[in-house]
Amino acid sequence: MRESTDPTVLTTERLILRPQDPADAVVFRQLWLERDPRVPEHRRIDRDGRPTEADILRHILEMRGEGRTDLLTVVLRDTGKVIGYCGLVYDGHGDAAEPELAFELLRAVHGRGYATEAGRAVIASAAEKGRPRLWATVWDWNLASRHVLEKLGFVETGEVTKESEHGRSLLTVRDPAS
């Protein structure tokens, strides 16, 4: 398992991206509740109400402890309100050492450019740390996320990482060298 970099605080014009805090589990559970019904069942709240906030909290702490994530909590600078997460995960595609960009924001803030703004900050930070090439996977039906990735310079590779009744998961890459 690769060792995570020290968490960084990133600041943009409208956002602060900071290490995840136990209190963020409340908002992260809301993200689970808001997920599109086309998202695979294992990534949605189940019939027993899981994951609970406690489950999500444990997951945050486990991922940080194992060094498998550099996901940052996205906070609005003007209000301090947590609106989601954006950062890097290392479970990856391509070269196992190459991170994958991941982001998810509350529906109430969709369409305002926050995902693109947060993604740009994470990409710049990754490049400064010697990681200019990033991967991302996205469901074929998730046009909003595909558009964000396109604005961030990602290109669809043509590779399908998963295919199911939920659609196709497409692999994208951001490689400034190509």
Q: Confidence class of residue 17 from pLDDT cuts 50, 70 and 90?
A: very high
d(CA 62, CA 155): 31
Q: What is the overall mean pLDDT for the chain?
A: 87
- The tens digit of pLDDT for each residue in 50-85 reads 999 999 999 888 876 666 668 899 999 999 999 999
| Structural domain count, the chain | 1
This prediction has a pTM of 0.87
Q: What are phi and psi of 112, to 5 degrees?
A: -110, 5
Token pair listed for 112 = 């305002």
Q: What letter represents residue 107's amino acid?
A: R
| Residue span of the structural domain in which 55 resides | 10-131
User: Is the pLDDT score of 3 beyond 50?
Assistant: no
The answer to the question of residue 176 being in a domain is no
CATH of residue 61's domain is 3.40.630.30
